[in-house]
Structure 1
Amino acid sequence: MSTFIRICALALAVPGLAHAAPAEPAAAPADLLPFKASETTLPNGLRVIVVPTGFPNLVSVQIPVQTGSRNEVEAGKSGFAHFFEHMMFRGTKDYPPEKYQAIITKAGARQNAYTSDDLTNYYTTFAKQDLETVLKVEADRFQHLSYGEDAFKTESRAVLGEYNKNSANPQSKLFEVMRDAAFEKHTYKHTTMGFIKDIEDMPNQYAYSKVFFDRWYRPERTTIIIAGDVEPARAVALVRKYWSKWRRGTAQAPVPAEPPAKGALYRHVPWPTPTLPLLSVSFHAPAFSTKAKDQAALSLLLSLSFGRTSPLYKRLVQDEQKVDQLYDYTPGRVDPTLATIGARVKKIDDTVYVRDAILRTVAQLRSTPVGEQNLADAKSALKYGLVRSLDNTEQIAGTLASFVHYQRAYGTINQYYRLMDSLTPADLLAAARTYLVDDGMLVATLSHDAMPAAIAAPPKLAELAPPSAPADFPLLVQQSALPQIRYKLLFSAGSAHDPAGKEGLAALTAAMVGSAGSSERKIDEVAKALFPIAGSFSEQVDKEMTTFTANIHKDNWKRFNAIALPLLLAPGFREEDFRRLKDAQKNALQLDLKDNNEEEFGKERLQANVYAGSGYGHPVLGTLKGIDAITLDDVKAFWKSAYTRGALRAGISGDVSAAMGAELKQALAALPAGAGLPSTAVPVGKAAKGLQIEIIEKQTRATAISFGLPLSVTRTHPDFPALWLAKTWLGEHRASSAYLYQRIRELRGMNYGDYAYIEAFPRGMYQFFPNPNLGRKAQLFEVWIRPVAPENGHFALRVALTELDKLIAQGLNQEQFEATRDYLMKNVFVMTATQDQQLGYALDAQWYGTPEFTSLMRDGLARLTVADVNAAIRKHLSARDLSVVIITKDAAGLKDKLVSDAFSPIKYDGNKPKELLDEDQLIGARKLNIAPEAVTITPAAKAFAE
């Protein structure tokens, strides 16, 4: 049995399996398969897994080979993995077909094989007495397969016959067209059968068939599963006896990577004979994993949503009777593949209706999490439904083979189902938001009669999204043993939403919630009530987000919420608090930022200059004039429109009970209804032409420098890991090993530190890691040169630009790349180590629609090459077209030096090596080519005034 027929059978089986009658779930996750397997790897790389099943008399030998249609990498050569499923029964010199078949028959064996995208599996089930015989003849055909050109041509025609047989099945043809349309480069573009033109040409490919077999049928790609009434030591000894001489392979044939999808697609298949219309909606889906939750989550989500117990199935199949088949199929594959929802529609006029019903359900999955009980029932049914089918040795071995081929390990199936057990509604929601997107969507139809014209133009998923349910916002739960409970309430509202002329409104509103008391208690009464239970409720505002964070021991849960939640749900809005917090915000802007902190001042000014004219064009604190203009009524209106149920993402961590989650959701249901503030536009930064410099003139002893450029790369961008690695090597925050730090501070002793960023890092001078919940739709590449002596300001700029220029021109070498990647693969755990960070980054992942941050980074870093990093550097960075902000005392003198390109000397207190002094001479003379009109001087008093 092979190719599409097997795939369709699995596709139709998955929903039913997932919705079988659930058994009582186990108290704790346990291994799905309880057998004690032994695992051995021979010196040649062959993997042997022996599984005594407890069933008497029978043994099943399954041999999954890690080769399928995925490995058909040469153009014009598809179909060969499936072809060898056939050819492997053509025999060898010692065991020609008739002799081989006689042995199998004498053993009373049942034997077959199948091919899929990622594997070819050969299986034989027989009486235990024939174990040695079966292992011997199998070893012979795997090592000594022999066939002549005539036999090759004969079997290739049989493969064509199988294609022709399958081509009579409209489902098979639709599946073939879907794959061809969905993939551009990856070999999943063709089905296991292969392209018809390649199959027709197969008789001419005898020489290539030898290459394919020699390349892929090798011990390091093969596992022998021996299950049943078997003694492990003897079984392994027999494998060693007959399989040890099989030699490893050396061929390399990498599978091409698939580029990101570029938009929704539609394909139609005209069918020559009458048939019911077929409709499929597919999305690019993640690869199988026992660690990342995406594939398991998406599979379970679609099974719940389109399987036989789903509301849509009941509606379309049973109640309205518009379709007679509705199924979902999210296969586990080595590489990212397709997840498909399929329907067979009874009347062609109903195809648009059915399509939109499917898309509407998909849109809802992106906004509404599944219920806890529904998820628990689905996990239980999936697990116990599979266990129920494992009632004989062959089924156990065959199920194992379908999982073993990924990592050649017995534990894969148990790991996968433990991962499945761990899934939460938030995981399923995150998978929906990541993968069920317009750009990755393919709608395909097949019919004999003409389709309605509207079928070719599916609506955008956002157009079909349901309105927010009153209390059904997502609640992300991070369960742990920590008795300290932390929850975060993240609203899609920030300073980018500040009205023109009232910059600072988002920050002042959040302060009025977190620091001004509730209608029941004044702020001093709140502080007094929280003191004995050590509880806190704090606010953080950024460009796109406002986050309220609560922190309390589980023993004081109810008492704390009675005090803290009214701050958000029923703020006091007292005039005296408004005046106090308004003054505090002005002082934070004028005194704490502008007057007393040149470093943060310069960073904020750079951000504002690059994004001038957009919602990112002023500090979160606002402007002095904007804060003055804000009224208490403005705050009340902003609170009512911004902090709504539809704008909320909530997460909770610690030793959280189900009752706690339910109580929190019930309390937050009192928030105003509605979707929240209108979504902000993605800000478009101003790309400088040459060096555009603003000098802030301020009475200060030192000179602070920040420079950068707008960056469209956020965590959703494929180049994000590459740029993260590049900025880490160049100037990791507070890392003395980073390149700029070594060149400017350590070697020359010019300042306190020199860092680079590709994400906003407010308050960077106070902490080692950025806070979570600073998600932005556009970012800034920034280099922060911490204050230098004024006489060295010109040189500091030159040396930083010189080193950046070197990075762009030369890139990283392999050693630098590997060392930095190794650091980041581990450091990502350090920067997300705390309870607050883990919860915050998980909510950020929801907001961005990405995998959890550590997975996003480690997976992205693991796939990187030094060439990827250097290409991203050249694509996104510049050492010539930059916005620069310099805060210094003698603005006019510095401007003269800059525009005249005067030589910038540097003096050292101690002796320096000659090579450094020579380099300083070159850097000091570096031409920056700054035009006079490219330099402006702004008195500090005028910055952020309005």
Structure 2
Amino acid sequence: MSKLVPIFALALPWLASSALAADLPAGAAKPVPAKADLLPFKATEKTLSNGLKIIVVPTGFPNLVSLHIPVQTGSRNEVEPGKSGFAHFFEHMMFRGTKAYPPEKYQEIITKAGARQNAYTSDDLTNYHTTFAKDDLETMLKVEADRFQSLSYPEDAFKTESRAVLGEYNKNSANPVSKLFEVMRDGAYQKHTYKHTTMGFIKDIEDMPNQYAYSKVFFDRWYRPERTTIIIAGDVNPQQAVALVEKYWSKWQRGSVQAAVPVEPAPQGAIYKHVPWPTPTLPWVTVSFRAPAFSTKVKDQAALSTLLALSFGRTSPLYKRLVQDEQKIDQLFDSTPGRVDPTLATIGARVKKLDDAVYVRDAIMQTVAKLRSTPVSEKDLADAKSAQKYGLIRSLDNTEQIAGTLVSFVHYERSYATINEYYRLIDALTPADLQAAARKYLVDDGMVVTTLSNQAMPAAIAALPTLASFEPKPGAAKFDVLVQASALPQIRFKLVFAAGSAHDPAGKEGLAALTAAMVASAGSSERKIDEISKSLFPLAGSFSEQTDKEMTTFTGAIHKDNWSQFSAIAMPMLLAPGFREDDFRRLKDAQKNALLLDLKDNNEEEFGKERLQTNVYAGTPYGHPALGTLKGIEAITLDDVKQFWQSAYTQGAVRVGISGAVSEAMTDSLKLALAKLPAGAGLPATAVPAGHKAAGLEVEIIEKNTRATAISFGLPTSVTRSHPDFPALWLAKTWLGEHRASNSHLYQRIREMRGMNYGDYAYIEAFPRGMYQFFPSPNLGRKAQLFEVWIRPVAPENAHFALRVALTELDKLIANGLTQEQFETTRGYLMKNVFVMTSTQDQQLGYALDSQWYGTAEFTRMMREGLSKLSAADVNAAIKRHLSAQNLSVVMIAKDAAGLKDKLLGDAFSPIKYDADKPKQLLDEDQQIGKLKLNIKPEAVTITPAAQAFAN
């Protein structure tokens, strides 16, 4: 039942709540209105005559109640030598039951209540918490009151549980960080009980079976009402809850014996401790300092905590330097826990190479030294306060979390107001407060450096330099811009370059995509990517890329108020990329993983669609995914990226669009920035690729360990948006299989009537990432397209039939065409749906730029005009001109590739079985479809292991 909270897990002292409640005298329990603005709760507080504190918080979440009972008893209270670990031990023993409720009966009650229950011990408190249905509140208060007042356990049970505690210590001892903190605290403290961790000293734990008599003393001394708070949060009536607590807890007697916690003397100099670790592990380096006790009155602890979080968190310069840029460490953390007495603030790092341990220690100390001499900026501090405030609000989304957060503050003074007062203290911090805390506490005398490693540390690690030694020393074109003005305050701009994967050099497939990623995700020459991320965070700005066959598109988005600041950050990413080797390696690995794992290994549906595209256009510039091939990505060098950027992203190769509440100044500044691009027309234009036209059905079966079979088939087509037959084919594919539309024909025939799969769709334009979107992304312009049918995965035994039924329906469409009613219904749908598919700011701007590229009218106007001129005969004639149900390329992804090949070539009847009764008409139709001869030639079926796809 125990949950030991790690030391560094409690290092979030800035968590704060909102509502303020006043402590009321015994006999009066009244709700107190909330005065702060973070949470809307009203808390009711009451202190009983025996000293027990009650806090009731109706949270507004229905049906559940969370009962937390923090006791002001933690490892801090283990004051006698040789008796450490007893606070944690009683967390265990409290589940041993009483005479009235032995363990099995207690557990039965918990089970009947459907409750979730646990407990944890920290330095300063032990908390018992249970969440359950509101109807069981009285029952839970009754049984909890009994175990707090009448805990009973025989000596044999005590000894048994003491062995379990030893087992828990042994478990934790396998964690190097736990051992490091244990040694750190043992070395840092001389007298205070924070010298040992919550688990206690190992020698005391081993001796615990002999301490049965002392266990009674410990429990009698510390488990008393005047040290206990009952927090009841959730769907609760405060007056009734207080009455129930009084009913069951008011007879609990105050304690009569207390024991003073030793006072720690002032430190006398820096300390170094090392932990030799018996098994291989990465080295750890921690630098700790004496830190002030928690307070809602004195700013020191709040200031120091905020300062270290800013200086060593994920947005800090040191994190960027050591984790991202130099890659010398893979973890960096800071911990300034709120404690009743002065404690330790710790900065820790896990080092990749032992030889870098001294370097990392000195980098931490250098940062600490700078904090003493250089105040943080007002903006950084304001950002930290904002993150703390909104992070708190985001976390408090359920009753249990609300109650648990309250516990972490209530236990200090048993007051609901503590959390609010502490937040106000945080809000009042200034850069001067943070610097004052640094100068007061980040000093040599209070420093403790602790290391852990399997091999011997460099000798220099033990020779601690002074912080003063790290103190900073004094010293010394013209562009046509498409503007879509609107009232939207969000500004969006797109830069569409005529450069895509069709321009990848042979053997360097993936270069266009990797170059775009280096621009959008690798920073500029003046700012690294983490600096850019940090700068854009408060602006809520973004700068992203998309690479396809013919286009690379960069999209920027920012509120109009932040345009100038955003432009100064984002545009240099395009105009002066950072081109750092470590970013190149990172993004190159990410691109390989996107191809190998995200596409091939983890998504056979998109895998099949992409494979069909590459098969149809094999031998042309469209013959590989935009991500490239594994061999091609491997061959790309950073110099290749630089050269592609220089040649492709030129003034003559870009189309520019901007939308929102655009000012003339914004447009001018965008033009001015783009004038810094290299001059020139860009890369040579690509030829229109000639797709492979199959003779009959040509099938590639991708052999992959998968539960279902994915199917895609299609043929190349010259019908792009600039072709006169585009509206007609768009209407035909919409009727046949509109993407994710449950009213389309294939969906009805395959999924709805037969229940064979998740969905069945048709396309006349490429639709990458179709699994994740209802509408295609803009800026995917291509000079040649693919008519495609996507049969989402079916059970392997139904794969042969699924192919037959899809071909049957396609053949019917080609042979019979659409009826007048089908034509009119579909056209009416598209006349309106064209507005839906272009409804967002991004789509409107993107489609407008696509229309420029294709040389057509604006998309919605083009489609509505084209549709309005169509007749059913026009559509049916276009279907016959461009589509076929006999000459198709097919890709199937299946586990039993050989068995599927045999079925296809055997052309035998393919049965289908249903779990539910089906109409006779459908069953008769299935018989006919199952007999359909596909007439696939043996040489037209190939099997490809999945590992070989997109390899070269």
**TM-score, normalised relative to structure 1:** 0.50
Deviation at 1:607, TM superposition (A): 0.3
For 1:784 and 1:926, locate their aligned partners in 2 and report how far apart those are by CA, in whole Å: 20
Q: Which residue of 2 is the match for residue 861 of structure 1? A: 867
Deviation at 1:850, TM superposition (A): 0.4
Amino acid in structure 1 at the alignment position of 2:533: A
Alignment of 1:451-466 (within 5 A): none
Amino acid in structure 2 at the alignment position of 1:648: V
For 1:890 and 1:868, locate their aligned partners in 2 and report how far apart those are by CA, in whole Å: 43
Amino acid in structure 1 at the alignment position of 2:550: E
Asked whether 1:770 is paired with 2:773, we answer no
For 1:672 and 1:916, locate their aligned partners in 2 and report how far apart those are by CA, in whole Å: 64
Residue 832 of structure 2 is aligned with which of 826, 834, 856?
826
- SS for the counterpart of 1:533 is coil
Q: Which residue of 2 is the match for residue 635 of structure 1? A: 641
Alignment of 1:1-40 (within 5 A): none
Q: Which residue of 1 is the match for residue 618 of structure 2? A: 612
Residue 812 of structure 1 is aligned with which of 804, 811, 818?
818
For 2:569 and 2:784, locate their aligned partners in 1 and report how far apart those are by CA, in whole Å: 37
Q: Which residue of 1 is the match for residue 529 of structure 2? A: 523
Asked whether 1:534 is paired with 2:535, we answer no
Asked whether 1:872 is paired with 2:888, we answer no
Q: Which residue of 2 is the match for residue 491 of structure 1? A: 497
For 2:769 and 2:761, locate their aligned partners in 1 and report how far apart those are by CA, in whole Å: 14
- SS for the counterpart of 1:534 is coil
Alignment of 1:550-589 (within 5 A): 550-589=556-595
For 1:660 and 1:893, locate their aligned partners in 2 and report how far apart those are by CA, in whole Å: 62
Asked whether 1:545 is paired with 2:554, we answer no
For 1:519 and 1:658, locate their aligned partners in 2 and report how far apart those are by CA, in whole Å: 28
Deviation at 1:669, TM superposition (A): 0.2
For 2:480 and 2:519, locate their aligned partners in 1 and report how far apart those are by CA, in whole Å: 22
Q: Which residue of 1 is the match for residue 766 of structure 2? A: 760
- SS for the counterpart of 1:704 is strand
- SS for the counterpart of 1:493 is coil
Asked whether 1:886 is paired with 2:892, we answer yes
- SS for the counterpart of 2:924 is helix
Amino acid in structure 1 at the alignment position of 2:494: K
Alignment of 1:710-721 (within 5 A): 710-721=716-727
Asked whether 1:687 is paired with 2:693, we answer yes
For 1:800 and 1:614, locate their aligned partners in 2 and report how far apart those are by CA, in whole Å: 28
Deviation at 1:473, TM superposition (A): 2.2
Amino acid in structure 1 at the alignment position of 2:502: A
Q: Which residue of 1 is the match for residue 511 of structure 2? A: 505
- SS for the counterpart of 1:784 is strand
For 2:863 and 2:890, locate their aligned partners in 1 and report how far apart those are by CA, in whole Å: 30
C-alpha RMSD of matched pairs (Å): 0.4
For 1:639 and 1:473, locate their aligned partners in 2 and report how far apart those are by CA, in whole Å: 19
For 1:684 and 1:932, locate their aligned partners in 2 and report how far apart those are by CA, in whole Å: 25
Q: Which string of whole-angstrom CA distances, capped at 9 and with x for unpartnered residues, describes residues 847-884 of structure 1?
A: 00000000110000000000000000000000000000
Alignment of 1:182-261 (within 5 A): none
- SS for the counterpart of 2:781 is coil
For 1:800 and 1:835, locate their aligned partners in 2 and report how far apart those are by CA, in whole Å: 36
- SS for the counterpart of 1:532 is coil
For 2:798 and 2:583, locate their aligned partners in 1 and report how far apart those are by CA, in whole Å: 46
Residue 653 of structure 2 is aligned with which of 629, 647, 666?
647
Asked whether 1:474 is paired with 2:442, we answer no
Q: Which residue of 2 is the match for residue 671 of structure 1? A: 677
Residue 791 of structure 1 is aligned with which of 785, 797, 804?
797
Deviation at 1:474, TM superposition (A): 1.5
For 1:900 and 1:863, locate their aligned partners in 2 and report how far apart those are by CA, in whole Å: 47
Q: Which residue of 2 is the match for residue 929 of structure 1? A: 935
Deviation at 1:750, TM superposition (A): 0.1
Asked whether 1:723 is paired with 2:715, we answer no
Q: Which string of whole-angstrom CA distances, capped at 9 and with x for unpartnered residues, describes residues 203-249 of structure 1?
A: xxxxxxxxxxxxxxxxxxxxxxxxxxxxxxxxxxxxxxxxxxxxxxx
Asked whether 1:904 is paired with 2:910, we answer yes
For 2:669 and 2:882, locate their aligned partners in 1 and report how far apart those are by CA, in whole Å: 47
State the 4+ residue runs in structure 1 displaced beyond 6 angstroms. Answer: none
Q: Which residue of 1 is the match for residue 600 of structure 2? A: 594
Residue 843 of structure 2 is aligned with which of 837, 848, 855?
837
Q: How many residues align?
A: 476
Q: Which string of whole-angstrom CA distances, capped at 9 and with x for unpartnered residues, describes residues 315-362 of structure 1?
A: xxxxxxxxxxxxxxxxxxxxxxxxxxxxxxxxxxxxxxxxxxxxxxxx
List gaps (5 residues or longer) in structure 1: 1-470
Q: Which residue of 2 is the match for residue 895 of structure 1? A: 901
Deviation at 1:650, TM superposition (A): 0.3
Residue 622 of structure 1 is aligned with which of 604, 611, 628?
628
For 2:610 and 2:732, locate their aligned partners in 1 and report how far apart those are by CA, in whole Å: 23
Deviation at 1:902, TM superposition (A): 1.2
Alignment of 1:2-151 (within 5 A): none
Deviation at 1:696, TM superposition (A): 0.2
For 1:638 and 1:702, locate their aligned partners in 2 and report how far apart those are by CA, in whole Å: 41
Amino acid in structure 2 at the alignment position of 1:476: L
For 1:674 and 1:597, locate their aligned partners in 2 and report how far apart those are by CA, in whole Å: 40
Q: Which string of whole-angstrom CA distances, capped at 9 and with x for unpartnered residues, describes residues 896-939 of structure 1?
A: 01011011000001110111000000000000000100000000
Q: Which residue of 1 is the match for residue 745 of structure 2? A: 739
For 2:877 and 2:633, locate their aligned partners in 1 and report how far apart those are by CA, in whole Å: 44
Amino acid in structure 2 at the alignment position of 1:765: M
Amino acid in structure 2 at the alignment position of 1:703: T
Q: Which string of whole-angstrom CA distances, capped at 9 and with x for unpartnered residues, describes residues 585-636 of structure 1?
A: 0000000000000000000000000000001000000000000000000000
Asked whether 1:851 is paired with 2:825, we answer no
- SS for the counterpart of 1:502 is coil
Q: Which residue of 1 is the match for residue 946 of structure 2? A: 940
For 1:814 and 1:473, locate their aligned partners in 2 and report how far apart those are by CA, in whole Å: 47
Q: Which residue of 2 is the match for residue 801 of structure 1? A: 807
For 2:883 and 2:538, locate their aligned partners in 1 and report how far apart those are by CA, in whole Å: 52
- SS for the counterpart of 2:935 is coil
Q: Which string of whole-angstrom CA distances, capped at 9 and with x for unpartnered residues, describes residues 628-667 of structure 1?
A: 0000000000000000000000000000011111110011
Q: Which string of whole-angstrom CA distances, capped at 9 and with x for unpartnered residues, describes residues 726-757 of structure 1?
A: 00000000000000000000000000000000
Amino acid in structure 1 at the alignment position of 2:643: A
- Radius of gyration: which is bigger? 2
Q: Which residue of 2 is the match for residue 916 of structure 1? A: 922
For 1:576 and 1:667, locate their aligned partners in 2 and report how far apart those are by CA, in whole Å: 27
For 1:937 and 1:604, locate their aligned partners in 2 and report how far apart those are by CA, in whole Å: 17
For 1:696 and 1:925, locate their aligned partners in 2 and report how far apart those are by CA, in whole Å: 25
Q: Which string of whole-angstrom CA distances, capped at 9 and with x for unpartnered residues, describes residues 442-489 of structure 1?
A: xxxxxxxxxxxxxxxxxxxxxxxxxxxxx2221000000000000000
Q: Which string of whole-angstrom CA distances, capped at 9 and with x for unpartnered residues, describes residues 59-94 of structure 1?
A: xxxxxxxxxxxxxxxxxxxxxxxxxxxxxxxxxxxx
Q: Which residue of 2 is the match for residue 781 of structure 1? A: 787
Q: Which residue of 1 is the match for residue 12 of structure 2? A: none
Deviation at 1:674, TM superposition (A): 0.2
